[in-house]
Structure 1
Amino acid sequence: MSTRRGEPMLSAVQAAEPNSQSSAAISPGPQGDSALAQPPPQSPTTRHSRAQSIRASINSEHFFEEDVEEPTGTIFSSSINLANTILGSGMLSMPNAMASLGLVFGSIVILFSALASSLGLYLLSRCARRTSGRDSSFFAVSKLTYPRAAIFFDAAIAIKCFGVSISYLIIFGDLMPEIAGSLGFKISLLLSRNFWISFAIISLIPLAFQRRLDALKYTSFTALLAVVYLFVVVAMFYFNPLRSPLPEGDIVLFRWSREFFTHLPIFVFAFTCHQNIFSVYNELRDNSSKQVNGTIALSIGSACGIYQWIAVLGYLTFGSKVAPNLLTMYDNSLVITLCRLSIAVLVLFSYPLQCHPARNCLDKVISSIMRTWRKEPEFEVIADQSDDPVSNMPISDARSQVPVVHVMSPAKHISITFFLMLFSYIVSISVTSLDLVLSFVGSTGSTCISFILPGVFYYKMHEHSQWTRMKVISVLIATYGVLVLIFCLGANISRVVDGNY
């Protein structure tokens, strides 16, 4: 960046910098904020204001211009990105998961999973308000609650998102040769799985390198058209069936078996989008509680309705014989071929939505390691006021310590994205199936992100506050997550030991 373009931005930041003499007269905050894990006090030479941190980034010329632009996200665009993160390969396995539980029991589990997921998102959005400005992330919240574990939380989230992105490449690589064959192509290259994975990774370069999540709203909207098409196809084949009538008693309302614990992670995984809620909070033009809650309600509500529709009609169409991949149950007609193509586009456009949080988490991990190695301070002292008057969180009117503002440099942004794409390409070429791996991801990574971390973060921030309804819910959500992790992970390990995979 040239000096001429950087100067007006620098001037704006200097104008926003608080007066150091008046700031020094502010007394320490009230006891209400003692619930936060307080970092060790910094010396006067290390007490940088937020404006000084941003100014240092600008002076270094290692930042993206959009980092100082006004946020552009809306409820609609943010809901599209969250919904596209939610709606993926989980749609195709929902009828099979419902078949293992029964029609009514399966519907109840879908509704409960949607409710639990939305509560996790809400708790994370409340925690985001305790971070500084629009720099919220799992890492920032961890630094305010469990500073020593922050790096491990972000590493786990990065690994989880990386694993999901690999699954999208594998699904795309498996679908495209079938689609090419159904369309009558005989060229061996077009029937090669490796070719289509290579095609995918090259095509995704412009999207995966996008700096802001809101920039993906158009591709997310395009991908959601595939959901609409699948929605219509499932209904069409149910109301005009090509199959023989189902045997009597093949559809049950309730079914309980040991398989419940191996299928529950599918429902958990299906509603996981929590890795992107902080980006949504940072990028919303108006990130008040009303706007954030509206985004959560719209994205989770629409996904729940689509899951219920596909699960119920798919189960009623094929009964207990429904396969884990619903599309394999239909004949290779043009309608189904186009449906497979639309799903391939859906998972292709979902890849950047996993790459974005994985990159941000890895950046936080690398920066923390480098800051520790250089013995640089990780906290700054600022004076922030709450923009949310209905919040029940104790907000101090005095200076508080928050993690130092961090802006990812272009070089780091490019290098992390490049290595993420390279390693995901290598793994997806080498591995032919990730079904079992995704079961473990659902029972571990998705459970931690969706339930355990939101619950423990919110509780820690209100540890010394009075017990409220949300504080009780945070404990229940975290407890539920721990139980899911223990029982479902145990069931999947038993499944591997027994060879039932």
Structure 2
Amino acid sequence: MCVSVTMSTNTDCYNERSGETEALLESDAARPRVGGASFSSSVFNLINAIMGSGILGLAYAMANTGIVGFCILLLLVSSLAAYSIHLLLTLCDQTGINSYEDLGGRALQHSGKVVVGLSILIQNIGAMASYLFILKSELPAAISSLLSPETGGHAWYENGRLLLIIVTLCVVLPLSLLPRIGFLGYTSSLAFFFMLYFAVVIVVKKWSIPCPLPQNVSSFQISNSSDSDCSPKLFEISSKSAFAIPTMAFSFLCHTAILPIYCELDRPTKTRMQKVSNISICVSFLVYLISALFGYLTFYGHVDSELLLSYDTYLPRDIMVMTVRLAILLSVLLTVPLIHFPARKSLVLLLCGGQAFSWFIHITATLSILGVVLLMAIFVPDISNVFGVVGSTTSSCLLFIFPGIFYLKISDQPLRSVHAVGAFLLVVFGLMMGVISFSVIVITWATNS
């Protein structure tokens, strides 16, 4: 999940990726403008809004669902994401509303607006926790790979939790305290190219690691690695499969960025914006599929839940792995403050309503959110837990359930119309996916504990 920022003379709009939310920093940002962003620029912005940290967990999802099972699920989730975007665009045209929270208020009154704001807040907290988790796991390896091989022992920079606290206090906190941080959007636009580079490295390094994997690698604890480990599985069902769909939902969530991008599109029409979303989802689908497939075909059943960690033992000082790790870390570091901004905005709106700006409220909300996120990143043992819980709850709501409910409540179409039936099925799928995945995840935790 990275963030894209669309800059204009009147507004600073930024859109959080892979779960992701927008902040309208000026009052006139919500008004459609003629002569705004070009078609290609809008596609680029939405791709940035889609692709994020979920890409690091998709190879693990493929290992637990099989290649064919993963492809079917990924195609299903991406298609439903495109359809739910279609419903949101239809509602936008009918009502003139271009804010996800306001659509919730129109459909379900004040309670709807509160529920949507709360979902966005939780989604952003989960997204920030996933980014800080990446920093915790990848930063020590990145620093160690840059130092000489003779540097041994357990140095302080090998402690991921300590490094995470230092980086949060010295970099993330100061940037998050800024009342306006739209300038970071220019650097975060590089995130898409980082993701493309990540996919290229995964493909290239497939041929650098032999299979079967070496048996003397203690970190993987492989006792009987054999040729059978190098046979890809087409279908796989286990308790870990419950993390697959939530991870995919986490990876395709961009719905709160759709309407602001629609407003800034040059010659905005629903058909034109639907083409933007379809192209963006297709490009993201291909990048996700390629990186997941080649990551799985490199490590098979031994792939880590955070893909880059799987390369540490076999390619500890590889130049391409080092550079892609640094690129991901830079993207993560600059993205966390941007994701924090709409999270703080939702929290202030929920607790203080339309109260005038106050530095006390601003600082208190910033410290509270970062404190919760930091604790989650430090104590959550596996990034798949973040993807699973957030993906099965708020991601499923924002991606499937809310668009369907809003369409059924707001649209004047008869209940037997094609789109009304589709919206109902979208809600049913979201509820089933969320309840089943979350239940299996909780049962798995209880069993393991």
Q: Normalized against structure 2, the TM-score is what?
A: 0.77
Query: Residues of 1 paired with 2:58 and 2:155: CA distance?
Result: 33
Gaps spanning 5+ residues in structure 1: where?
1-8, 10-62, 372-407
**Kept after mapping to 1: 8 A contact 2:84/2:399:** yes
Within a 5 Å distance, the mapping from 1:5-16 to structure 2 comes to none
1:152-183 deviation digits (Å, cap 9, x = unpaired): 22112212212211221221132112111111
Query: Residues of 2 paired with 1:81 and 1:209: CA distance?
Result: 23
Larger Rg: 1
Query: Residues of 2 paired with 1:254 and 1:419: CA distance?
Result: 45
2:307 maps to which of 312, 316, 326: 326
- CA pair 108-212 structure 1, distance change in 2 beyond 3 A: farther
1:229 maps to which of 186, 197, 212: 197
**Kept after mapping to 2: 8 A contact 1:261/1:488:** yes
Alignment match, 1:443: 392
Alignment match, 1:136: 98
How far 1:115 sits from its partner (Å)?
Answer: 0.8
**Kept after mapping to 2: 8 A contact 1:94/1:307:** yes
How far 1:451 sits from its partner (Å)?
Answer: 0.2
1:229-260 deviation digits (Å, cap 9, x = unpaired): 21111111224544448724721222334443
Larger deviation, residues 97-106 vs 303-312: 97-106
Query: Residues of 2 paired with 1:163 and 1:232: CA distance?
Result: 27
Query: Residues of 1 paired with 2:300 and 2:76: CA distance?
Result: 23
Mapped pair 1:431 → 2:379: yes
Mapped pair 1:145 → 2:107: yes
Mapped pair 1:275 → 2:256: yes
Query: Residues of 2 paired with 1:296 and 1:125: CA distance?
Result: 10
Alignment match, 2:431: 482
Alignment match, 1:99: 63
Mapped pair 1:247 → 2:227: yes
How far 1:447 sits from its partner (Å)?
Answer: 0.5
Query: Residues of 2 paired with 1:92 and 1:257: CA distance?
Result: 20
Query: Residues of 2 paired with 1:227 and 1:453: CA distance?
Result: 29
Alignment match, 2:278: 297
- CA pair 210-274 structure 1, distance change in 2 beyond 3 A: farther
Query: Residues of 2 paired with 1:219 and 1:81: CA distance?
Result: 13
How far 1:265 sits from its partner (Å)?
Answer: 1.3
How far 1:414 sits from its partner (Å)?
Answer: 5.1
2:121 maps to which of 142, 153, 158: 158
- CA pair 233-351 structure 1, distance change in 2 beyond 3 A: same
SS at match of 2:227: coil
Query: Residues of 1 paired with 2:407 and 2:169: CA distance?
Result: 38
**Kept after mapping to 2: 8 A contact 1:88/1:346:** no
How far 1:456 sits from its partner (Å)?
Answer: 0.5
Alignment match, 1:256: 237
For residue 230 of structure 1, what is the amino acid of its counterpart? F
Alignment match, 1:499: 448
- CA pair 168-138 structure 1, distance change in 2 beyond 3 A: same
For residue 99 of structure 1, what is the amino acid of its counterpart? A
For residue 269 of structure 1, what is the amino acid of its counterpart? F
**Kept after mapping to 2: 8 A contact 1:131/1:140:** no
How far 1:66 sits from its partner (Å)?
Answer: 6.8
**Kept after mapping to 2: 8 A contact 1:139/1:361:** no
- CA pair 68-104 structure 1, distance change in 2 beyond 3 A: closer
- CA pair 434-237 structure 1, distance change in 2 beyond 3 A: closer
1:365 maps to which of 350, 358, 361: 350
For residue 473 of structure 1, what is the amino acid of its counterpart? G
1:460 maps to which of 406, 409, 416: 409
Gaps spanning 5+ residues in structure 2: where?
1-9, 11-24, 214-225
**Kept after mapping to 2: 8 A contact 1:86/1:273:** yes
**Kept after mapping to 2: 8 A contact 1:168/1:351:** yes
Larger deviation, residues 475-484 vs 413-422: 413-422
Query: Residues of 2 paired with 1:155 and 1:337: CA distance?
Result: 38
**Kept after mapping to 1: 8 A contact 2:32/2:263:** no
How far 1:212 sits from its partner (Å)?
Answer: 8.7
Query: Residues of 2 paired with 1:100 and 1:323: CA distance?
Result: 11
Mapped pair 1:336 → 2:284: no
Larger deviation, residues 154-163 vs 347-356: 347-356
SS at match of 2:305: coil
Query: Residues of 1 paired with 2:350 and 2:243: CA distance?
Result: 32
**Kept after mapping to 2: 8 A contact 1:262/1:492:** yes
SS at match of 1:147: helix
1:380-412 deviation digits (Å, cap 9, x = unpaired): xxxxxxxxxxxxxxxxxxxxxxxxxxxx85869
Alignment match, 1:170: 133
Query: Residues of 2 paired with 1:430 and 1:92: CA distance?
Result: 18
**Kept after mapping to 2: 8 A contact 1:165/1:424:** no
Alignment match, 1:121: 85
How far 1:261 sits from its partner (Å)?
Answer: 2.5
1:415-472 deviation digits (Å, cap 9, x = unpaired): 5873466435643575354532431111111111100001100111125636332222
Alignment match, 2:288: 307
How far 1:484 sits from its partner (Å)?
Answer: 0.5
* Count of matched residue positions in the alignment of Structure 1 and Structure 2: 399
- CA pair 196-143 structure 1, distance change in 2 beyond 3 A: closer
Larger deviation, residues 63-72 vs 99-108: 63-72
- CA pair 67-198 structure 1, distance change in 2 beyond 3 A: farther
Within a 5 Å distance, the mapping from 1:398-417 to structure 2 comes to 415=363
